Structure 1
Amino acid sequence: MRRRIPWILSMVVLFAAVLSACGNKNADSVVKDLNKVAGKLDSYQGSGKMILHTGQQPLEYKVEVWYQKPQYYRIALTNEQRDITQIVLRNDDGVFVLTPRLNKSYRFQSDWPENQGQVYLYQTLLQSIAMDNSRQFTTEKDAYVFNVMAGNYQNGSFARQKIWLAKSDYTPRQVQVTDSNSNLMVEVKFDSFKFGAKFDKSAFDMQSNMGNAPGAGSSSASGNGASNQGNSDSSSGNVEGITEGSNSGSANGSTDGAQTNGTQPDGTTSGQTDPTSGGTTDNGGATPVQGSDDEFNYVEPDPDSLPEGVELKDTRDLQLAETQGVMLRYSGKYDFTIVESKPKDQAVSSNAGIMLDLGATWGLLSGDETSTLTWTYDGIEYRLTTNNLPREDMARIAQSLAAQVAVK
């Protein structure tokens, strides 16, 4: 009898080990399951927080992600501390970047997000896992963890990413993106994520999103994402500024001749305010731009965001149509200008361009020999114009400006 007890115990241990092994999945089996999930994906709704580590201090944003098959997206990024919300929307009329606070939107004819990944989009995460044949895989108590390349993002500084997926249903739990030196760049922590979400018909409508946020999770039939915005330009990559809240001053040309509408070749503007009369002065500090409703504090890029060999040349007040602004001129290895202004209502304008992910917002890049990156944040419109500054540096400077506004 005593001899049988160890034998029985051995069989119990072996049986438990077999059951445990059957319950564990390897990377290949999880990837196969993820492919099945992707094939059946009709809609989802997620929320959480995104933390950017690209500046001097982390910046936190609330992120909401809505998706409905086949191509309807709504992403809202909110700086809760400053009550700033910007939305990127895709529906049958194109891709929109919305700033409800300014009643301002830009429209693209684009295949976004297929042409550029977003760290908070489930499809991007699945694609990252599937594309990396050298993926690293581990398990935690309630999650599968993939460590894969971050090659499908617009930001060239992103090198790798860790993705946590719930074991129970493969919903995303957390994402961490690092650079080539393993420095944390961006992290997203989901507090909720639901497959099969139902949306109101107005959920992906541009006009509805410019007003009160449309409802999600209602019992009404899912919307078709269509909206009546009028005829859009059919050319690929076209962006239209529906600018009920924009000034007409656009920065054009190179920096030493950087111009806004009404700007002279030496960089001064017709009707420019006298630097001694209360505005900013050449080489002046970050003092308010004066002018009744136009007053605001302009910001300068963080010095660490500037390319080596580039310095601030001067700072000038500008008169831009019905509003005032300030122009910062930088020179050295690269030449560029930054025009900051508080937009007002004006007629619709349009120009060709592409959308750039700036982390906390999205920018509009237009031009060929001379490029202009335009974005809005906290009620201020920014235009960075150059004929030789690389795109990655343009994005880095824009991110720096947005970060400084976010923490003020």
Structure 2
Amino acid sequence: MKKMFGMWVVIIFGLIFTLSACGEQSQEDVVKKLESNLESMNGYKAKAEMTMNTGQEEQKYNIDIWHKKKDLYRVKLNNDQDEKGSQIILKNEDGVFVLSPALNKSFKFQKEWPENGSQPYLYQSLVTDILKDNEAEFKVSEDHYVFETKTNYQSNNNLPYQKVYFDKKSYTPEMVEVLDKDRNALVQVNFSEFDSDPSFEDGDFAREKYMTKESAEETASGDGKADTFSVVYPQNMAGSELVEESQVETENGERVIMTFSGEKKFTLIQEKQDVVPTMSSPQMVQGEIVNIGHAIGALSDNTIEWFSGGKSFVLASEELTREELIEVAQSVKGKEVK
């Protein structure tokens, strides 16, 4: 009888050990697998939809992401509210660019992007944030490994956390939620495709490929006709009010200069942009890439510049903080007045 009991004990413990060994992966196991995938991957192509509620109106982007190891990126973002086409974040041997092909305009930055901050649509950025956060929280759902980590948005302190959902079979990202201080999701990225073994053609990461007349026509969703110049106003005026508005004739038609004063002083300049048939030189910016919801812009210490709706914008202030500059720029979607 004792022998029989002892045999059952051995069997039961063996079953427990087997079930444990076949159970869910630990946080350490998943992190190692993510890191291993990142190191072995030669590149990827992904598609995603990003919804942003960081401003006064919800903004949606369709995103097409290309990455070729080690340092080549092409991120095409199409805002469904901008009929003037997509914008492209491009990184190659020459630098980092934000391209607006339909307007033949581009900004050039130093090469720190994307390493200088969190990027919710880049696989390596998500994994890096997890590796850097020793206090990252880990949960397992039926289909996902879920991490909650700190973020590193240099231009926006209002988004300190993110939740990243990785598919349990492929370890690729399926959803990212970027959270405010109260854990409300203000940005959500949903991945619809992720190809970890893609092919690329020569010139896929060359600026010239996207800044020709033909590519400008392809990326523009409008009919190519000149639009009537209209003026847009910020809905968020940072406690100030419009005290002066002047119009200046330019080669393109018209430039409007607005001066705001009150709690903070700032200036907003907007100008109609016509497509130029030949590739223009990029405008060098000593700053960083920032997403203001309705456009991708260039942020320096006291200025944000961007292209949207067939117009160029410059928002400048010696008194607004970087966060306030972004908030005002995000709100320049007000009622249009001729």
Q: CA RMSD in A?
A: 2.9
Counterpart of 2:24 in structure 1 is 24
Tell me the matched-pair count.
317
Counterpart of 1:330 in structure 2 is 260
Counterpart of 2:289 in structure 1 is 356
Q: What SS does the aligned partner of 2:125 have?
A: helix
Q: What SS does the aligned partner of 1:323 have?
A: coil
Supply the distance in 2 between the matched residues of 1:48 and 1:345 (Cα, whole angstroms): 28
Closer, same or farther: CA 198–154 of 1 in aligned 2, 3 Å = farther
Deviation at 1:333, TM superposition (A): 2.3
For residues 91-143 of structure 1, the C-alpha deviation after alignment (integer angstroms, 9 at most, x for no partner) is 11111111111122222232211112211011110011111111111111121
Deviation at 1:67, TM superposition (A): 0.2
Q: Which amino acid aligns with 2:97?
A: F
Deviation at 1:78, TM superposition (A): 0.6
Supply the distance in 1 between the matched residues of 2:21 and 2:331 (Cα, whole angstroms): 49
Deviation at 1:153, TM superposition (A): 5.2
Say which structure, 1 or 2, has more relative contact order (CA 8 Å, 6+ apart). 2
Deviation at 1:198, TM superposition (A): 0.9
For residues 311-336 of structure 1, the C-alpha deviation after alignment (integer angstroms, 9 at most, x for no partner) is 22233222234420222211122211
Is 2:127 the counterpart of 1:196? no
TM-score computed with the length of structure 2 as normaliser? 0.84
Say if 2:231 and 2:256, in contact at 8 Å, map to a contact too.
Answer: yes
Q: Which amino acid aligns with 1:363?
A: G
Counterpart of 2:174 in structure 1 is 173
Counterpart of 1:392 in structure 2 is 323
Is 2:2 the counterpart of 1:69? no
Supply the distance in 2 between the matched residues of 1:337 and 1:302 (Cα, whole angstroms): 14
Say if 1:128 and 1:152, in contact at 8 Å, map to a contact too.
Answer: no
Counterpart of 2:219 in structure 1 is none
Say if 1:178 and 1:185, in contact at 8 Å, map to a contact too.
Answer: yes
Is 2:183 the counterpart of 1:185? no
Which structure 2 segments of 5+ residues have no match?
216-224
Deviation at 1:151, TM superposition (A): 2.8
Supply the distance in 2 between the matched residues of 1:363 and 1:121 (Cα, whole angstroms): 18
Say if 1:145 and 1:162, in contact at 8 Å, map to a contact too.
Answer: yes
Is 2:320 the counterpart of 1:320? no
TM-score computed with the length of structure 1 as normaliser? 0.70
Deviation at 1:69, TM superposition (A): 0.9
Deviation at 1:169, TM superposition (A): 1.9
Counterpart of 1:95 in structure 2 is 96
Which structure 1 segments of 5+ residues have no match?
214-291
Say if 1:118 and 1:153, in contact at 8 Å, map to a contact too.
Answer: no
Q: Which amino acid aligns with 1:71?
A: D
Counterpart of 1:279 in structure 2 is none
Q: Percent identity?
A: 32
Query: Which of structure 1's runs of 4+ aligned residues deviate more than 6 A?
Result: none
* Greater Cα shift, 198-207 or 153-162: 153-162
Counterpart of 1:381 in structure 2 is 312
Closer, same or farther: CA 133–94 of 1 in aligned 2, 3 Å = same
Supply the distance in 2 between the matched residues of 1:155 and 1:76 (Cα, whole angstroms): 22
Deviation at 1:404, TM superposition (A): 5.2
Closer, same or farther: CA 349–323 of 1 in aligned 2, 3 Å = farther
Closer, same or farther: CA 379–41 of 1 in aligned 2, 3 Å = same
1:125-204 mapped onto 2 (5 Å cutoff): 125-152=126-153, 154-204=155-205
Counterpart of 1:78 in structure 2 is 78
Is 2:231 the counterpart of 1:301? no
For residues 123-182 of structure 1, the C-alpha deviation after alignment (integer angstroms, 9 at most, x for no partner) is 110011111111111111121000111235542111111000011121000000111122
Q: Which amino acid aligns with 1:98?
A: L
1:225-304 mapped onto 2 (5 Å cutoff): 293=226, 295-303=228-236
Supply the distance in 1 between the matched residues of 2:281 and 2:22 (Cα, whole angstroms): 62
Supply the distance in 2 between the matched residues of 1:97 and 1:313 (Cα, whole angstroms): 33
Deviation at 1:310, TM superposition (A): 1.9
For residues 236-268 of structure 1, the C-alpha deviation after alignment (integer angstroms, 9 at most, x for no partner) is xxxxxxxxxxxxxxxxxxxxxxxxxxxxxxxxx
1:110-125 mapped onto 2 (5 Å cutoff): 110-125=111-126
